[in-house]
A and B are shown apart, each in its own frame.
Chain A
């Protein structure tokens, strides 16, 4: 007998042509916004009208014009070029940080939820303690603790995002695992004498996938805000690399003279998050999950 796993009709439903028509509206709008952002980011990584750190691209502090749709900053850099170049940085940092947090949080949460007992008790207390520190404070403290050598490095930002997210994701994964562990198919596997890893990955992970996917999407939505906030407070990526939060804080003095210089990158950031949120909203509706708010 061939022991191959057969293809499952429902698991690959998203490959169907008709699938797109059945998706909820928010999902579609969100996906379009996200695709636009990805294309913009790819373009910005290779080409910008001016160099992102090029000073004197025009008259400093002059407002928006056709050459400079978002105006110029205090040292005469073209804000639109910086905005365009920053797109891929924001996307990559958000994605890398969330994925890392997701892997760590899911593994810890599923194991702790399924195994229970002392292991669960100890992980839960640590997770609880980490969540009790307001996330922005935790992120800032970790950046300070990393010291001046690492400050402003992309790797540090990725780690900080992951560390802030991991305990929160672990809590969701644990709840899902505990719920699934009471299902009888898990008992059937236990009665067969299957090992812990086999049960966690074969029986629990796939059934927690919907919850985890929505959680991932939700965390991903918030990552640009978190990274932006770090930049805005001056603890993010090291200048002159343009990160949108940093740009907003750099150009705040121009609020009266040239609002578009501040709100241009701001709205870019907001539209990315809107895209993520719409996508999450649609995804959770499709998967029958409720996206739990709360940072």
Chain B
């Protein structure tokens, strides 16, 4: 294969308050014409820095010490601004990480594509500009949205626009910087599908930067694993995923929660990437299970170990053969929850808008975000609430916690009713329900020490404590007393989340509400927090309402799962049976979209009747997107609740018909048109 672009011995340093830091060290790789190369690593490993250099771009405070980036034999790092301008967008194009902030907010999206084609004079001879733009939109599965502003499009649509823009001049190389981070699983899969499709049609090469190995399994031919600025392993993606050689790659793969149900015989990563704790030898040494004293002092470089495969580890052979005792146990540590009911939610409907006086007078009803929720938690049980963003998961949690008084419905804790509003609840009720938030950066007061953060709830609820109380709780979340005198800024994201969990546990709650508490963390950290929650569940006998969009994590933790779509419960089931027999078409779709570690060639099934729109509050909210709906019945009739062995399904299709062709190979090759939830001007 002919090399399209080659990176040689790239060394990049950043200027910081304490002098220069090396962020990229001796990185070399090449990408052939038409090849898809993936670059993977935890946040802060330098992968994006490398990627942007492929466009000849660096921030002002970064500095290339040595190295070359050869594109068609020309060193991009030595090119002047004018020549770079000619290459960028034209022959090397970027798909940015965050489409919402990357599209110019004051300009309609059509002109944003047009200016790119015009600048590079890349309009094919046989067409007009208008036609070309519509053609590009069609290529990425969008109708003509050229006259819309970016904020009028959904996240997935915005990303399609940036992709259309990137391929507008038929580039040779596409640099993709985490293009699906922040999108829902199903949208994520559609974008991946679109990219593979485009690659097949246009034949361009790709550099795909991500922290998500499972995604690379779907799209990349070869993968480079980066750690602390160095490439530690380069291999074909199937080889890497089935038999990783470097201990870091092994750990990274082991940290990914999957739903194949197999107990993997490896364990996740310890610690986090900290550039202030680097040994002079192998950078990974402080976190490596196979490290020897020699590792601490001997720097490691990439070595060819097999055909097209290289590793930077002198102990890779040992690492590949030696099996460590698995820490991960089966999916359920303790399934039998006690039978007494802890929390029950009946007929809950929620809305953020209070009906105004005018509305009340006219008898108008405002739209509820969440409708008719019935939910029950038994003592000590973990129930997961799953759904895409905007499905109302957190809204339900807010209502249970008392921060959003419901429009209708009742919430009962044990046998007494809970007051709908926070100020009506007794201190005892407040103590019994503890809430852990998504973002650990924001849930701890940055101006308080960990000690006062933990002491405050004890004082407030008048819980007696002695010198050991705080130490004990810190130990139970895997930290030590040394943390008490630190402030949140000195802690990593994972450590902060542990403090938030400790704060909740301190007051002996009966119910923990965990609101997406893993989504802001790196995969390796996620895996360890899941482990922690599992052990807490056993030791502390506390029930959890676990809110997540990630079915793989849910599988490891939850006893039962509730699936939410657009504010309505679609299905409620025991975890095991939900995963093996999803029944509801939406659950099915979610399960199929979650990427596995093997290339699965998944193509999302198009909706049966895309134009169908459900009558709000009456029809099935999934109508219009459902691949299996029987007809217009779904849109205007309320779907019945059908009891199943371990819960219920809300669907018009008869229960024995559901799940029958759950894995039908109806994979059609057409860019699925995302439902156009366009806001009106």
Contact = CB atoms under 8 A, between A and B. Distances in A.
Direct contact of A and B (CB under 8 A): yes
Interface of A: 1-3, 5-6, 8-11, 183-185, 187-194, 202-203, 206-207, 209
B455 A3 contact: yes
B469 interface: yes
Contacts of A184: 437-439, 442-443
Given A187-B435, A192-B460, A206 B447 contact: yes
Nearest to A208: B447
B442 A183 contact: yes
If over half of B's interface residues share one DSSP class (helix, strand or loop), that class is named, otherwise mixed; here it is helix
A295 to B, nearest CB: 29
A193 B425 CA distance: 8
B27 interface: no
B467 interface: yes
B446 A187 contact: no
B402 interface: yes
Nearest to B513: A191
Given A185-B443, A206-B447, A192 B437 contact: no
Nearest to B500: A188
Nearest to B434: A191
A5 B452 contact: yes
B569 to A, nearest CB: 25
A48 B446 CA distance: 50
Interface of B: 401-403, 422-423, 425, 427, 430, 433-435, 437-439, 442-447, 449, 451-452, 455-457, 459-461, 465-467, 469-470, 484-485, 487, 489, 503
A1 B449 contact: no
Given A190-B422, A193-B430, A207-B447, 9 more contacts: A6-B452, A6-B484, A183-B442, A184-B442, A185-B444, A188-B443, A188-B503, A189-B456, A191-B422
Contact of B445 (A1, A190, A207): A207
A194 B431 CA distance: 12
B447 A188 contact: no
A194 B465 contact: no
B469 A191 contact: no
B437 A188 contact: yes
Contacts of A11: 447
Given A3-B455, A187-B435, A10 B401 contact: no
Contact of A191 (B403, B439, B442): B403
Contacts of A206: 445, 447
A187 B403 CA distance: 8
Contact of A8 (B433, B442, B461, B487): B487
B350 to A, nearest CB: 17
A8 B435 CA distance: 27
A189 to B, nearest CB: 8
Contacts of A1: 465-467, 469-470
Nearest to B423: A193
29 contacts: A1-B469, A2-B467, A5-B449, A5-B452, A6-B449, A6-B451, A8-B449, A8-B487, A10-B487, A10-B489, A11-B447, A184-B438, A184-B443, A185-B442, A187-B435, A187-B437, A188-B437, A188-B503, A190-B403, A191-B401, A191-B403, A191-B430, A191-B433, A193-B422, A193-B425, A202-B456, A207-B445, A207-B447, A209-B447
A191 B460 contact: no
A202 to B, nearest CB: 8
- What 5 A-B pairs are tightest by C-beta distance, nearest first? A184-B443, A184-B437, A206-B447, A184-B442, A185-B445
A144 to B, nearest CB: 43
